[in-house]
Amino acid sequence: MKWGQWVNSAILILATLTGIAAFAYPFFTPTTGGSPFAIAHAQDAPSVTLILTLLCVVIIVANLTSRQMSARTIAVLGVLSAVNAILRTIPGPGGFSAIFFLLVLCGYVYGSTLGFLVGVLSLLVSALIGGGVGPWLPYQMFTAGWMGLTSGWLPDLRRWRIAELLMLAAWTALWGFIFGAIMNLWFWPYISTAQVSPGQAWETGLPFREAIKRYAVFYLATSLWWDAWRAAGNAVLILSLGTPLLKVLRRFERVLGFAMDTSI
């Protein structure tokens, strides 16, 4: 592995660890678990957003310096992020959002680095366009970035088109549920027993098994139905639009010559 790839992987790992820490630290803070929901990450969210955005800039600069990216790559990254941000505005039932199927395809075709960047930047752009800026934003950015990043780990099945499409549809559906399950964690430690039943709320000092049990009950009661719409809707989009979109994305890769080998 070249030094540029080492640097790229190190930054992606650092970004992931930063995201995990941002999600996890409230569980180790005595003031949460019964605090007013309105204070959830109100103080730290701007700093986390800034750190994540800067890490994305560092990833781009490092890859430009090592010539793993070019101006063409940045142009395609910008277009894909903008298109994906616009897709988020498409209305749908329940928790459906069309932002995920293109993100999975980008990560699958272009690799983990582009997938991570498209996920993070498209959520940032869509929030700025739609006025959805709030303490939840950096956590949405991290989770979407992880969706694109892990999509780069999928095996290349382009020789078996039906199998490839079914794999991508199943993966997208799975991430529909994973996204919701992860995103709940940004506010769950702040929910009080006055807002949900005691068997669904977080309390400081809970044994790990009990915490998992309570979160499972909370997720099933509040999120499963919404996430099911997200999972099903994006899987249908993959099955209906996946084949032509894969052709277009791979044509960009060949014509513009910006294939990257930067997975972690």
Please give the model's pTM, rounded to 2 decimal places: 0.91
In eight-state DSSP terms, residue 196 is S
Tell me the torsion sign for CA atoms 215, 220, 223, 228: positive
Domains (ranges, CATH) in the chain? 3-256 (1.10.1760.20)
Position 131 pLDDT exceeds 70: no
The chain-wide mean pLDDT, for the chain, equals 87
Higher pLDDT, 244 or 262: 244
25-50 residue pLDDT tens? 888 876 665 555 556 677 788 899 99
pLDDT bucket at 256, cuts 50 / 70 / 90? low
SS (H, E, C) 16-76: HHHHHHHHHHHHHCCCCCCCCHHHCCCCCHHHHHHHHHHHHHHHHHHHHHCCCCCHHHHHH
Is the Cβ–Cβ distance between 144 and 99 less than 8 Å? yes
Q: What is the mean pLDDT of residues 180-193?
A: 88
225: left (phi over 0), alpha (psi -120 to 50) or beta: alpha
Which of 58-67, 137-146, 227-236 has the least mean pLDDT?
58-67
Answer with the residue of higher pLDDT: 190 or 256.
190
Tokens for 1?
């592995």
Using pLDDT thresholds of 50, 70 and 90, give the confidence band for residue 257. Answer: low
